[in-house]
Amino acid sequence: MSTIVVSGGHPLRGRCTLQGSKNIALHLYAAGLLMPGRLTIHNAPAIVDTGVCAEIVSELGRPVTLGAGTFEVAADTRTGREIRPELGRRIRPTACFAAAVLARRSRVRFPLPGGDQFCDRPVDLHLRAMERSGAQLELLPGGVVDAVLPGGRPRAFAMSMDTPHGPSLGATVTAIFLAVIASGTTVLTDISIEPEVIHIVDCLNRAGADIVLMSERRCVIRGVAELRTVDTVVAPDRLEAGTLALAALITGGEVVLARTGEAVLTPGFADALTRMGAELISGPDGLLVRGGRLSPVDVVTGPHPQFPTGLQPPTTGLLSLVHGRSRIVERVYQRRATHLDGLRAFGADVEELGTATVITGVSELRPAAVAATDIRCCTALLLAALAAKGESRVSGLRHLYRGHGGLIDALNGMGASIMRVNSAEELVRT
Ligand SMILES: CC(=O)N[C@H]1[C@@H](OP(=O)(O)OP(=O)(O)OC[C@H]2O[C@@H](n3ccc(=O)[nH]c3=O)[C@H](O)[C@@H]2O)O[C@H](CO)[C@@H](O)[C@@H]1O
Ligand SMILES: C=C(OP(=O)(O)O)C(=O)O
């Protein structure tokens, strides 16, 4: 079911609810390994990555029960110290899981992570944080890392979480995991303040950690002997919210993102939509997103609260139908352009100039058959297919299912016509 056939050209209208955030949930599953007791994570998204994490955590000696929206981790009973390479290579935050195991069990073996491969995504900072906490690391054949803490417990350290492309979200989480039960006080500078990090810090502090976020992206962590267990709720997925908003705009429709009690659009993204001329109206039911005649914009991706990189590819899809010339500059990654060839197949006029994409709006997109190579490439192509009048075919949906469990159904529920194709080439409407 990794291919869909989209009959495009239907304005989306309706109200939709958002799944729990993939990126928050994955890091919370890893945080659970730091807590010895039973842990329940609510609003866990029903996505492929959740299943992979459940297997990883179970194999580490903490059986996981997946319920309707819950990810329940059993109390610590036995000691697993290895993340199976076949599993660890399927998700991005593998080093964060490894850091939690290392901190509690003083040894871990894990593969270099997977996740989307739209450019080189190094983990040097994660490994450096482990070394700074006293671990000895050995890179084994096959890209597997063996890390040992000879002292048995991580020690406090000082470290900057900056990379040539800005602060690292994942490495900030890795460093925090090592520091919360380290001996002594750790100081991290240039930390990521993405909502994912704030959520993890809040959860760990409720579990008894002593993490203080200071001004200027500095963080002081006093190590504690042990964490207690807390229940936690995953916040709504802001990338899914943005994708649904873009779907409304590219089809000339209007959607309400159901009220969640939280701001679901990242400020930098909401600002770009407003500059384009989209209406964002907050009401009792949720956030109404409505388009009309949109104007071109210049956008630069950046750390929170700036424009999120994950919405760059689908926004490029929308801008390809906005009359005039727009420009999106990618700053979080050295390159993120895997969606451009696919968009060109729909007739989009997109040109890559260094880290910028220059988009000259065309009057319409034509149907196409395209293959997605990663999750946001997939959302960009899906949006183009929703806008192109006629029948398009998008394959590579397995990338989408890694991070979105109900997006296709949500779109169909608002008037889209998307059929899944099963192996016998039979169209299945869900
Ligand atoms: C599962 C998850 O939460 N994934 C998100 C997370 O990925 P992830 O945590 O992997 O992304 P990072 O914030 O670490 O990456 C930011 C930049 O730092 C660089 N870097 C990172 C680590 C390192 O050791 N060395 C280094 O150079 C990266 O190549 C990138 O250019 O944040 C990204 C940026 O918001 C999002 O696009 C991903 O969806
Ligand atoms: C890059 C992404 O995911 P991951 O980090 O899990 O590969 C994403 O969600 O846009």
Q: Is the domain of 14 the same as that of 36? A: no
Query: Residue 218 phi/psi, 5° resolution?
Result: -115, 150
| Residue 354 pLDDT grade (very low, low, confident, very high; cuts 50, 70, 90) | very high
Q: Whose CA is nearest to atom 36 of ligand 1?
A: 310
Q: Which residue out of 376, 379, 401, 404 has the highest number of ligand 2 atoms within 8 Å of its CB and is therefore the one to mutate?
A: 376
| CB of 314 closer than 8 Å to CB of 243 | yes
Q: Is the domain of 346 the same as that of 376? A: yes
Q: Is the domain of 133 the same as that of 198? A: yes
Amino acid identity, position 350: V
- Domain of 41? 22-233
233, 248, 272: which is the final residue of a domain? Answer: 233
pLDDT value of position 1 = 63
pLDDT value of position 79 = 72
| Residue 430 pLDDT grade (very low, low, confident, very high; cuts 50, 70, 90) | very low
Q: How would you class 70 by CB atoms within 10 Å of its CB: exposed for 0-12, middle for 13-18, buried for 19 or more?
A: middle
- The encoded tokens of residue 216 equal 């200027």
In sequence order, what are the residues at sequence separation of 6 or more whose Cβ sits closer than 8 angstroms to the Cβ of residue 134? 149, 150, 151, 154, 155, 157
pLDDT value of position 366 = 98
Q: Is the domain of 240 the same as that of 229? A: no
Compute the mean pLDDT over every residue in the chain, rounded to the nearest whole number. 95
pLDDT value of position 229 = 87
Q: What is the enclosing helix (H) or strand (E) of 104?
A: helix 94-105
Query: Residue 349 phi/psi, 5° resolution?
Result: -105, 90
In the predicted structure, residue 426 carries a pLDDT above the cut 60: no
Q: Which residue has the tokens 């006080």?
A: 185
Q: Whose CA is nearest to atom 1 of ligand 2?
A: 116
The response to whether residue 126 sits with its C-beta less than 6 Å from ligand 1 reads yes
Alpha helix stretches (DSSP H) within 181-335:
195-206, 238-250, 267-276, 312-319
ipTM for the complex? 0.99
Distance CA 119, CA 108 (A): 27
CATH code, domain carrying 340? 3.65.10.10
Q: Is the domain of 158 the same as that of 279? A: no
pLDDT value of position 259 = 79
In the predicted structure, residue 428 carries a pLDDT above the cut 80: no
Q: Which residue out of 332, 374, 400 has the highest number of ligand 2 atoms within 8 Å of its CB and is therefore the one to mutate?
A: 374
Going 240 to 242 to 247 to 252, the CA torsion angle's sign is: positive
Angle between helices 22-32 and 195-206 (to 10 degrees): 30
Quote the radius of gyration of the chain (alpha carbons, Å): 22
Give the tens place of pLDDT for each residue, 48-58.
999 999 999 99
Q: What is the enclosing helix (H) or strand (E) of 376?
A: helix 375-387
Predicted TM-score of the model (pTM): 0.96
| Residue 77 pLDDT grade (very low, low, confident, very high; cuts 50, 70, 90) | confident
| Residue 94 pLDDT grade (very low, low, confident, very high; cuts 50, 70, 90) | very high
- For range 299-324, the mean pLDDT: 98
Report the separation in Å between the CA atom of 93 and the middle of ligand 1, taken as the mean of its atom positions. 9
The response to whether residue 330 sits with its C-beta less than 6 Å from ligand 1 reads no
pLDDT value of position 424 = 52
Q: Could you say which DSSP state residue 47 is in?
A: S
In sequence order, what are the residues at sequence separation of 6 or more whose Cβ sits closer than 8 angstroms to the Cβ of residue 294? 249, 276, 277, 278, 318, 322
Phi and psi based region of residue 355 (left: phi greater than 0; alpha: psi -120 to 50; beta: remaining): alpha
pLDDT value of position 263 = 80
pLDDT value of position 371 = 97
Give the tens place of pLDDT for each residue, 395-406.
999 999 999 999
Alpha helix stretches (DSSP H) within 138-265:
169-180, 195-206, 238-250
Pairing of strands 325-329, 298-300: parallel
- For range 159-167, the mean pLDDT: 97
For the CA of 170, the closest atom of ligand 2 is 5
Q: Is the domain of 309 the same as that of 244? A: yes
Looking at the CA of 121, name the nearest ligand: 1
Report the separation in Å between the CA atom of 375 and the middle of ligand 2, taken as the mean of its atom positions. 7
In the predicted structure, residue 357 carries a pLDDT above the cut 90: yes
Q: How many domains does the chain have?
A: 2
pLDDT value of position 76 = 87
202, 233, 264: which is the final residue of a domain? Answer: 233
Report the separation in Å between the CA atom of 23 and the middle of ligand 2, taken as the mean of its atom positions. 8
Q: Worst-scoring range by mean pLDDT, 108-117, 145-154, 373-382, 421-430?
A: 421-430
Looking at the CA of 374, name the nearest ligand: 2
Pocket of ligand 2 (CB under 6 A): 92, 115-116, 310, 375-376, 403
218, 233, 248: which is the final residue of a domain? Answer: 233
Q: Which residue out of 23, 121, 304, 378 has the highest number of ligand 2 atoms within 8 Å of its CB and is therefore the one to mutate?
A: 23
Bridge partners of 257, per DSSP, are: 16, 287
The response to whether residue 165 sits with its C-beta less than 6 Å from ligand 1 reads yes
Whether omega before 305 lies within 30 degrees of 0, making that bond cis, reads: yes
| CB of 231 closer than 8 Å to CB of 35 | no
Give the tens place of pLDDT for each residue, 13-42.
999 999 999 999 999 999 999 999 999 999
pLDDT value of position 425 = 54
Q: Is the domain of 208 the same as that of 263? A: no
Q: Is the domain of 54 the same as that of 134? A: yes
Angle between helices 169-180 and 22-32 (to 10 degrees): 20
Q: Is the domain of 143 the same as that of 244? A: no
For the chain, the straight-line distance linking the first and the last C-alpha, in angstroms and rounded, comes to 12
Q: How would you class 140 by CB atoms within 10 Å of its CB: exposed for 0-12, middle for 13-18, buried for 19 or more?
A: exposed
Give the tens place of pLDDT for each residue, 114-125.
999 999 999 999
Report the separation in Å between the CA atom of 124 and the middle of ligand 1, taken as the mean of its atom positions. 11
pLDDT value of position 429 = 46
Q: What is the enclosing helix (H) or strand (E) of 360?
A: strand 356-360
Q: How would you class 120 by CB atoms within 10 Å of its CB: exposed for 0-12, middle for 13-18, buried for 19 or more?
A: exposed
Q: Which residue out of 332, 375, 378 has the highest number of ligand 1 atoms within 8 Å of its CB and is therefore the one to mutate?
A: 332
Report the separation in Å between the CA atom of 168 and the middle of ligand 1, taken as the mean of its atom positions. 5
The response to whether residue 21 sits with its C-beta less than 6 Å from ligand 1 reads no
In the predicted structure, residue 107 carries a pLDDT above the cut 90: yes
Q: Is the domain of 98 the same as that of 221? A: yes
Give the tens place of pLDDT for each residue, 123-137.
999 999 999 999 999
Q: Whose CA is nearest to atom 10 of ligand 2?
A: 310
The response to whether residue 26 sits with its C-beta less than 6 Å from ligand 1 reads yes
